Amino acid sequence: MKLKSTNLARGVFAWFCFLLCAFSIIAGLIFAIYYGRSIFDEGSYFFTEIGQALSGDLRETDTYKENASALFERLYYSTQGDTAANSNVADDEDADENAVASSSYHYYVSRDETGTTVSTVYVESISKDDLYSVTSYSTDPAGKTVTNDSNWDAQTLPEGFNYLFICEEGVVRIYHSDKDGALDCVFSSDTPGAVYTNTLSYTLEALRQSSVQSPKISFAVRTEPTSYYSSNEIVSAAQLQMKTIYFYMGLIMAAVIMFVLVLLFSILFRQDRKLFERYIAHGLKWIWIEIKVIAVFVWAFVVLNIISYGFDLAGTAVTLFSVFFVFYLLGIDISHNRRIYRHNIIHSVLKLVLGNREGKKFEQIVYRKYMATAGILVGLCIVGVLGYVFFYSHWLMNTIWFVAFYVGLFSAGVGTLVWFAWALRDDLRDYGKLMEQVEQMYKGDLDAMNHLPATSPLYDSAMQLNMIRDGIRIAVEEGIKSERTKVELITNVSHDIKTPLTSIISYIELMKTEPNLPPHMQDYLKIVSQKADRLRHMLQDIFDVSKAATGNITLMPEYIGLDKLLRQTLGDMDGVMNDSELTWRVQIPQEDFPVYADGQRMYRVFQNLIKNAAQYALEGSRVYVELQKQGQNAVVTIQNISKYELTMDGDSLTARFVRGDDSRSTSGSGLGLSIAKSFTEACGGTFHVTVKGDLFTVMITLPLKEPPKEPEKEPLTETADAENIASEPETNPDAFPEASEQTENTESPESSEPEN
């Protein structure tokens, strides 16, 4: 199945996401096995606290209730401390303060001014965030009241407080204030089955079983804490608990969101993960099956050892993670490498020894040398080990024979390596000779030969290369001969046709001068004259192409002004340009463009290109002719939109007898661009044609060359100077001859019909 994605980096990311999901699920299963019951209980309690926290009322939380019950427990046992303290005070009457333990709660008692021991430390350490009033009847039947605010009515809630706890006549009642300040009783201990907290239940049970008159205890709790003393734990502890719950809720939500995102990524990028699994399988394919089996046995041995020590949490986690990962890799290996058993050590060794059996002769010979060397060295090592075992328990161990034996083995090994190096050097030398011949043939030297000995592993290849050389040389010679024959045939035929064609044209001109010719005869003569003239132009083109192809073209290079030559050509072709339904945009700078070229040939090049544009450009479009300097070169660019669809590239258009009009409905021989390219290259320039859609562009590049400066003449006397001036004929003072002088023998605009 072909994968839709080939993003390897995304595949690695998806693979890690998949492993995170799998390990997270395994970790969840492990915790469920070990802490299933406790997780359920803790989860129920945690979700209960979450519901309490989301309700927004701290007084309804278990932490708030438990801390309030604990405060009541402390206040209650402070009234019961005198009885427990009397025995300790009697034992140590000089002590001002003693620590007394009762019912596993620790508190302090001290003497007051009358010498009576009372519990004060728990009471006095409570801040006014929690108002309290305690009346103890344990020592005084009339009761003694201790409070931290004498102005507080123990039956009401002051401003800023919202919780009231009252214990009177053994009955505990708890009140909450609503938004309007009214008190609502939310708990009463005399209600059957009413439970507030376990701590309060235990304290009420101790209160009912006490033989002393029940104390009267009241305390109120501030809505928001203003201090953070150790006794102010009711509101602040509840707030801290809520913050902790919110923090754990955030962690759980983040973990859930992370798990969902990782699971989503692993599902969305599963195709990329499969791609990475293919790379893993490709790597596992190169591991021998014996190594895989050994690795599995070692893993199983380690896992069994872990299990033997007991199923603790760490051991179970390591076992389950490793089991999943090992079976996952085995699944990838088996699903992608169907025949993993075939890649084994024995098969690899046999492939190494016999793998080159069907190779070339050179490969087989070199491979046999390599295997022979390796076999001899391995055999010498085995003999050395066996010899040591033999000599170890023999009296020859300490004799000269022991040393001679290993010296002989070492000498044999060194000799084998020297032989292999010597043979390899000869093979590399023969290979170098063969490559040298190939390089010489590549450079065009078809006379290069090699003379390898018949004992060389490359002898057959050398003989085949020699025969290829002979075949190439014969083919090149035949090709050159055929090309020369073809060019000579074309040249001779063109030359032989010119004579009768000239006679035909002459007689046509004579017939045109005959008087009283019927009109239809005049039309016939006009058509015959046009076709004869076209045939003459075609013969001239073929003749020029033939000379250019054989290198027989005659050039008369001189220093000319390319800008002047281009202006003169455009001027001579003005009639053709005006007759075409085109707009000509000509840009020729007013500066010199000196080049060294044949003016007549370059005039023919520009003439062909202008006529080509006039004939094949789209009607109503624009033709751009531009001359510019690019570095040390003069560049002429001609662009136009073709009226015909161009289905070939620029190189194909410059070939001989190729026309841009596939229907061949226009006149022309298909040699115009080929002649222009040949003449330009013969003058030392480059001719490049590019086609982009219907945009046809020709770029001609010629190197700029200044004419050499004439040596300065020595000054003459006035008499000699006058005599020289009188004797010299008039000359052109310009450094560059006018293009008209250089091209006065050029052909007329109708001398060729180029095609694109």
Q: Yes or no: say if 580 and 614 are a contact pair by the CB < 8 Å rule.
A: yes
pLDDT at 79 over 60: yes
Q: What is the mean pLDDT of residues 320-332?
A: 86
Residues sharing a CB contact under 8 Å with residue 326, sequence separation 6 or more, in sequence order:
296, 299
**pLDDT at residue 714, rounded to an integer:** 55
pLDDT digits (tens, 9 = 90+) for 487-539: 677 767 767 777 787 888 888 888 888 888 888 888 888 888 878 877 777 77
pLDDT digits (tens, 9 = 90+) for 115-167: 444 444 345 556 667 888 888 887 777 788 888 888 888 888 888 888 999 99
Q: Which of 626, 669, 622, 670 is nearest to 642 (CA)?
A: 622
Q: What is the mean pLDDT of residues 33-47?
A: 63
* 3-state per-residue secondary structure call for 76-134: HHHHCHHHHHHHHHHHCCCCCEEEEEECCEEEEEEECCCCCEEECHHHHCCCCCEEEEE
**pLDDT at residue 116, rounded to an integer:** 46
CA angle 274, 275, 276 (to 5 degrees): 90
pLDDT at 174 over 80: yes
- In order of 287, 310, 556, 748, the CA distances from 563 in angstroms are 75, 100, 19, 20
Q: Yes or no: say if 280 and 328 are a contact pair by the CB < 8 Å rule.
A: no
- In order of 177, 428, 432, 453, 475, the CA distances from 462 in angstroms are 112, 14, 11, 10, 20
- Label residue 320 by pLDDT band (50, 70, 90): confident
Instruction: Give the start-to-end residue ranges of the domains of the chain.
Output: 56-232, 361-440, 553-706+734-751
pLDDT at 103 over 50: no
Residues sharing a CB contact under 8 Å with residue 467, sequence separation 6 or more, in sequence order:
none
- Label residue 450 by pLDDT band (50, 70, 90): confident
Q: Yes or no: say if 100 and 119 are a contact pair by the CB < 8 Å rule.
A: no
**pLDDT at residue 350, rounded to an integer:** 62
Q: Which range among 104-108, 209-213, 416-420 shows the weakest confidence by mean pLDDT?
A: 104-108
**pLDDT at residue 237, rounded to an integer:** 78
Q: How many residues does the chain have?
A: 756
pLDDT digits (tens, 9 = 90+) for 80-99: 764 433 333 333 433 333 33
Strand partners, 101: 106
Our CA dihedral for 185, 186, 189, 190, rounded to 10 degrees, sits at: 60
- Label residue 102 by pLDDT band (50, 70, 90): very low
**pLDDT at residue 354, rounded to an integer:** 60
**Burial class, 387, CB count within 10 angstroms (exposed 0-12 / middle 13-18 / buried 19+):** middle
Share of the chain above pLDDT 90, in %: 8
Share of the chain above pLDDT 70, in %: 75
**pLDDT at residue 318, rounded to an integer:** 81
- In order of 571, 575, 611, 665, 752, the CA distances from 749 in angstroms are 11, 9, 8, 22, 7
CATH topology of domain 553-706+734-751: Heat Shock Protein 90 (3.30.565)
pLDDT digits (tens, 9 = 90+) for 678-687: 888 888 899 9
Q: Which range among 334-348, 593-607, 623-637 shows the weakest confidence by mean pLDDT?
A: 334-348
Give the DSSP per-residue string, 288-319: -HHHHHHHHHHHHHHHHHHHHT---HHHHHHH
- Label residue 624 by pLDDT band (50, 70, 90): very high
Q: What single-letter DSSP state applies at residue 735?
A: S
**Mean pLDDT of the residues in the chain:** 76
- Label residue 249 by pLDDT band (50, 70, 90): confident
pLDDT at 423 over 90: no
Compute the distance between CA of residue 523 and CA of residue 529 in angstroms, rounded to an integer. Answer: 10
**pLDDT at residue 88, rounded to an integer:** 36
**pLDDT at residue 388, rounded to an integer:** 78
First to last CA, the chain: 50
Instruction: Identify which has the larger pLDDT, 613 or 457.
Output: 613
Beta strands (DSSP E) in 155-234 are 161-168, 171-177, 183-188, 216-222
pLDDT at 561 over 80: yes
- Label residue 728 by pLDDT band (50, 70, 90): very low
Q: Which of 128, 124, 90, 132 is nearest to 107 (CA)?
A: 124
Compute the distance between CA of residue 379 and CA of residue 386 in angstroms, rounded to an integer. Answer: 11
Compute the distance between CA of residue 457 and CA of residue 455 in angstroms, rounded to an integer. Answer: 7
Q: What is the mean pLDDT of residues 248-273?
A: 87
Q: Yes or no: say if 221 and 163 are a contact pair by the CB < 8 Å rule.
A: yes
pLDDT digits (tens, 9 = 90+) for 562-610: 899 989 988 888 888 888 888 999 999 988 899 998 888 888 888 889 8
**pLDDT at residue 638, rounded to an integer:** 92
